[in-house]
Structure formats: C-alpha cells, structure tokens
Amino acid sequence: MTTFLLIRHGLTDAVGHRLTGRLPGLHLNDVGRAQAAGLPDRLTRWKIDAIASSPLERTMETAAPLAERLGLAVQPDIALAEFDFGQWSGMLISELDQRDDWKTFCQYRSGTRAPGGELITEVQTRMATALAGLAARYPDGTIAVFSHADAIKATLVHYLPMPLDNITRLEIFPASISVVRLHAWGPVITAVNLCPELL
C-alpha cells in the first residue's frame, strides 16, 4: 500500500481573484508562507518517505519547510503541475465570468478545452500516471505530493470515481491535505481537504 498526501500550495495573492495556471513568477504571500511553515507539524502523524512537487514556484515554496524538516529532497515533476489554462492564464475571474467559452468550460469540464491549453481529462491522466509511477517506486511508502487545486480535484475524481463534470463539487483549500491510499486491490480515499480552517 502506498499512501499519498495530496497537498495544495499555500495562499497567493491570486487565489480566488486571478486564473494563473502555469504562469511563472507567482509566489506565496505572507499567509501562504505561514501555511507552508505550519505543514511539517500538521504532517507529523505520517512517516513520509518522499516528497514530490509541481515545479511551479508556489508549490516548491510550500514543500520547502517539510523537505528541510525531514532532510528529503523535493522531486519536481511537471506531471504534477497546475491545469494549463492557455489563453485564459492571467485573467481575472471577474473577466472570465463574462465569457461564453468560460461558462461552457465550467458547465462541461470533461469535454471543453481551455483555449490553447488542456482538457481536464489530460490533467487527470498525467496525475494518475505520475502517482502510479511513484507507487511503483515506493510500494509501501508515504509520499507528500505538492500540487494545485484542479490537479488534486481531478485526481480525487479519478479514484472515487465520479464524473469529471462534477469536479466543481469538490473544494480544495490552500495548504489542505487529502489522503489517498493505493492498495493492490484498489484505491481508498481517507481524507479530503483537511486544513486548519476546517478543524
């Protein structure tokens, strides 16, 4: 059995306001840095064997305090990165809410490609493939995986399973922890969106 701790990056100034996708140069704000600093204490119940992360700055910064505490190197993997929103990247949510293509995307996630970007099914496939590879390398291990809201949602939907068009029914807060265990006979989800705000 491999246990995955799926951890969303900490808060940035863009969260809830701007769709950043894979844009470079986005860093944690003061709250996000405090969230990252608090993660090692929140994760002490698990014996973590490896740390993997999206290579974007905000996820690597969130992973850094845990890596320092445990003396483990962070393994960056582009397969764990955020949804590629293509031409929508950098736009304000309020601007997107006026667009018909965005409205269609929100209603029909499974079949609507972001212009110049990805389908959510592609995000789901790369995430599940990356976790399967990690499970093969750490068959009895616990792995902290630092990623992004949509990528984590797509992963949870894959393992539940539930229709991808229902992905918006899941909430994944900054610095939250979701727990997936991959047994030889199948997956078990033991926690979703654990965060200080909800405890």
Which CATH number characterizes residue 36's domain? 3.40.50.1240
Give yes or no for a cis peptide into 161 (omega within 30° of 0).
yes
Residues 6 or more apart whose Cβ sits within 8 Å of residue 80: 52, 53, 54, 59, 127, 130, 145, 146, 147, 151
> Is 148 part of the annotated catalytic residue set?
no
Closest by Cα among 53, 8, 6 to 148: 8
Closest by Cα among 125, 171, 140 to 16: 171
Tell me the C-alpha distance between 41 and 182, whole Å. 24
Domain that holds residue 166: 2-198
pLDDT of residue 198: 60
Q: Which of the residues 17, 57, 82, 122 is marked catalytic?
A: 82
Report how far Cα 162 is from the mean position of its chain's Cα atoms.
Answer: 18
What is the residue-level pLDDT of the chain in tens, covering all 199 positions?
Answer: 999 999 999 999 999 999 999 999 999 999 999 999 999 999 999 999 999 999 999 999 999 999 999 999 999 999 999 999 999 999 999 999 999 999 999 999 999 999 999 999 999 999 999 999 999 999 999 999 999 999 999 999 999 989 999 998 999 999 999 999 999 899 999 999 998 766 4
Q: Which long-range contacts (CB under 8 A, 24 or more apart) does 157-164 make?
A: 157/124, 158/124, 158/127, 158/128, 159/187, 159/189, 160/189, 163/110, 164/109, 164/110, 164/120, 164/121, 164/124
Tokens at residue 115, please? 């212009």
Tell me the C-alpha distance between 114 and 117, whole Å. 5
> Is 9 part of the annotated catalytic residue set?
yes
What is the total count of domains within the chain? 1
pTM of the model: 0.96
Tell me the C-alpha distance between 183 and 171, whole Å. 25
Residue 120: helix, strand or coil by DSSP?
Answer: helix
